[in-house]
Amino acid sequence: MATESRNPYRGYRPAYRGHNRSAAHARGVYGMELQEQGDAPRAAAEPTDEIATLREFTASDADAEAFMSWASDPLVARFQSRDAFEHVGQARRYIADHVLPHPWYRAICVGSGSGSGAAVVVGSISVNPAPAEADGRLFRASVGYHVARAQWGRGVATRAVRTAAKDVFAAWPWLRRLEAVADVENPASQRVLEKAGFVREGVLRKYIVLKGRPRDMVMFSLRHWALDGLRCSALLCSASPPLEQTMEPSADGDVQDRQQRLEEVEGDAAATPVPVVSLRPLGLEDTDAFMAWASDDRVMRFLKRPLCATREQAVAQIRDTVLGHPWFRAICVGGGDLPVGQVSVWPYADEGSRRANLGYALARDHWGRGIVTAAIKMVVARVFDDLPGLERLEAVTDVENVRSQRVLEKAGFQREGVLRRYIAGRGGGQAKDAVIYSFLSSDRP
């Protein structure tokens, strides 16, 4: 039984110069620009037959002046991390420092389809690759955009998102998932994404911080239609159904196998009394015990880190990963000091480390005894005090990992949704769907 916690930025190298790691990654969403209000119907807005095109920005005064048409508007800035610009010099610096070095940042232009009149810059759209996996692979990216208020309700943002998606899937052969988040209070942006073919996956509680305030965000995704032979707009995904309802048939069509596994999970916990569980730091002296789960393929199959086939590999992993970890504990049972598993919490590089990822692993001999559930309950009882400022603890688990899903639910975590093709397949395999859970500091009794 395992769910991994790791540094989400490990192995990531900025793809462009001038990248401000602390600012651009502050929200844990790859430094994406958040969607602003876009295509909401307005009394003054009318449908337009003007085409929307994308082009690269330049360092010209004209582009800086155009940039100000949305960057200086408080209504546009409401759902973004930075405040509205006050003068054009800020736009010039932003374009020079952030836009031009960016891997994929485009101006949204509108102009008459008849060819009369030059296209006018009315917004921006960017696509940011997610941090690389430990093996260097990339497969996810996020999209965000801004549109000047004069263009709201005219379909400009929707057409820009569709064009951007088509362009990046063509330009980046490795891309398998394009995602976006929109504030729960920004229904206009949510509608833009839905009309562009994105699928709503769930509401992530206190997922980012905007201007000092944690915000709930709606997660959307678009998969490359070539992966499953379907048009993106036809893909359906339930936001957050009960665990039993997500048990779609496996490759051989055997849905009963998953139901049986769920019943086994429930039966395991009821049949065996939960032993006394304690947590302590894990060190090099625990290498032999660590091998009990770190070398077991059935435990590690849902983790991204490699098996420890030798004691030397286990020593290296403890030395390089565990000892410097911000919050890593050995799980001990029965009042003894011998570890039978691990649990860890890794804060994301957001503002004040308000969000963190939970991971755990347990030796197979101890499955079904309620040990991990008890350990996680201990974690949530103390980690918010150990890591000041932490407000959201989240866990992402493979949709096939029914045991871990039930563990999280029993420990009080809230299921938020199914993220499609969100986690990398082990050993270079196909990206897999994941279930995301959260526990907030306010969820504590």
In the chain, where the domains are located: 32-237, 244-443
Measured from the Cβ of residue 368, the count of other Cβ atoms closer than 10 Å reads: 18
Long-range contacts of 230-234, Cβ-Cβ distance < 8 Å, separation of 24 or more? 231/197, 232/165, 232/197, 232/198, 232/199, 233/197
Measured from the Cβ of residue 329, the count of other Cβ atoms closer than 10 Å reads: 24
What are the tokens at 46? 């009318």
Question: pLDDT tens, 392-402?
Answer: 999 999 999 99
d(CA 99, CA 97): 6
C-alpha distances in angstroms, 58 versus 54, 97, 198? 13, 12, 30
Quick one: which of 201, 141, 199 has its CA closest to 419? 201
Q: Average pLDDT of 412-429?
A: 86
Tokens 């079904």 sit at which residue?
Answer: 368
pLDDT at 39 over 80: no
Q: Per DSSP, what are the bridge partners of residue 178?
A: 141, 222
Question: pLDDT tens, 278-287?
Answer: 999 999 999 9
Domain 32-237 coded CATH 3.30.2310.20 = no
Residue 172, pLDDT score: 94
pLDDT at 375 over 80: yes
What value, to the nearest 5°, has the Cα angle with vertex 28 and ends 170 and 88?
Answer: 80
pLDDT at 235 over 60: no
Q: Average pLDDT of 351-377?
A: 91
| Mean pLDDT, rounded, of the chain | 81
Q: Is 69 or 266 the better-scoring residue by pLDDT?
A: 69
Q: Average pLDDT of 352-378?
A: 92
pLDDT at 379 over 70: yes
pLDDT at 116 over 90: no
d(CA 67, CA 26): 23
Residue 426, pLDDT score: 65
pLDDT at 12 over 50: no
Residue 424, pLDDT score: 80
pLDDT at 41 over 60: no
Q: Average pLDDT of 136-154?
A: 92
Residue 85, pLDDT score: 96
Q: Average pLDDT of 84-110?
A: 97
Region of 412 please: left (phi>0), alpha (psi -120 to 50) or beta. left
Low-confidence winner among 119-123, 221-225, 284-288, 294-298 (lowest mean pLDDT): 221-225
Quick one: which of 436, 445, 444 has its CA closest to 217? 436
d(CA 28, CA 7): 11
Residue 138, pLDDT score: 85
pTM for the whole structure: 0.78
With bands split at pLDDT 50, 70 and 90, how would you rate the model's confidence at 371? very high
C-alpha distances in angstroms, 396 versus 2, 218, 371, 399, 420? 11, 16, 19, 9, 12
Residue 13, pLDDT score: 31
Instruction: From the options 3.30.750.24, 3.40.630.30, 1.20.120.140, 3.60.150.10, give the CATH code of 244-443.
Output: 3.40.630.30
- 32-237 and 244-443 share one CATH topology? yes
With bands split at pLDDT 50, 70 and 90, how would you rate the model's confidence at 272? low
Amino acid identity of 321?
Answer: T
Low-confidence winner among 71-80, 174-183, 418-427 (lowest mean pLDDT): 418-427
